[in-house]
Amino acid sequence: MNAFAIEEIWRFALAAIPLAAIVAVVCRCLPCRPSTRHTLWLTLLLLFVLAPFLPGAPVPDLASLAGEEAGAVAAIPAVADGPPVTTGKVEKDEGPPRRALTDGEHGMAWPGPTYTLCAVLAELHGCEVREVPFAPDYSLPLDELVGAAASLTYVCNPNSPTATFVEVSDLADLARRLRGVLLIDEAYVDFASQNCLPLAGELPNVLVVRTLSKGYSLAGLRFGYAVGSPELIAGLSKAKDSFNVDALSVAAATAAIQDQAYFQQNVERVCRERERLSAGLTKLGIAPLPSQANFVFARCQSPPAGCVYRALKDRNILVRHFDQPGLSEWLRITVGTPDQNDVLLNELARIM
């Protein structure tokens, strides 16, 4: 079993139940008579404090858990079939890669528009950034990115918010020409037809980062991993927080990664709905860009995208609108369930 033995958890629960009962009785005898909610919180607090001393309290083997998680990542077909690489756990934000792989002189560069949080995080970490505009067809501005001479070049692929995909061969060319590290953010790659994991084994300056938030539907877990050369992973490890991932997250992530059959079913459901949603939007006159993600990026000019966004919000349907130059005519629409997509398309037909 990859986490805690079921018997240990059961013994722990049996020991915790009497403690909860005692707390409830004591609280009822107090003059102030705490509410049920306060009694529950007090019980949980005591369980947290006394947990290590209760019989059968599960004690995780962190080294074993970490080894199983790394083994699960290594067993992913795209990793297992490629050249040897090293994996490591990373925080959700781009702080550790920025701290470990940039210097004060050369900073970062990326093609834009891209993941909107990147600029915020770069500013928080005091990192100089050069944003190079994508070409009109969202192909990679190769020469301009090389000319930026950044220590760390970031490419979100598939890109957010456009859902477009840069060819693997183009990113390989970019990596070979860069003086620094190429960080490829594959948060949405589970829904794409290609991926860049092989580059992490072929090129020593390529680092690929992924999350379990999308294809595995575990956004609340806040778990990601990096794939790259041993030297790059060692650099990340020096800059990460000491206890950035807890044992339960590692256990849950390992189990999710090992269940590739469910993962594939989940991805296929989203991709089928993405095609149906794209076709429906095209019939309404707001054809999206070709999408390789779990969302689509559709242009709305009449009525304006901002008006459509507000009209949908009034109907309790949430999409994203970016009120900024170059993006103000577009809506980023997440692929929902079949019923959710039907409601969206029906309401859009009324609005349009």
Residues 269-284: pLDDT tens digits? 999 999 999 999 999 9
Amino acid at 327: L
Domain architecture of the chain: domains with CATH: 6-53 (no CATH), 62-258 (3.40.640.10), 262-351 (3.90.1150.10)
Under 8 Å CB-to-CB from 129, ≥6 apart: which residues?
107, 108, 109, 110, 118, 119, 122
What is the rounded CA–CA span in Å between residue 234 and residue 238? 6
pLDDT at 145: 97
Residues 160-199: pLDDT tens digits? 999 999 999 999 999 999 999 999 999 999 999 999 999 9
Q: Which residues of 317-352 are buried (b: 16+ CB within 10 A; e: fewer)?
A: bebbbbeeeebeebbbbbbbeeeebeebbebbeeee
pLDDT at 97: 54
Residue in 81, 99, 51, 344 with CA at minimum distance from that of residue 241 = 99
pLDDT at 81: 52
**Residues lower than pLDDT 70 in the chain:** 1-21, 23-24, 27-28, 30-105, 242-244
What is the three-class DSSP state of 88? strand
DSSP bridge partners of 237: none
pLDDT at 125: 79
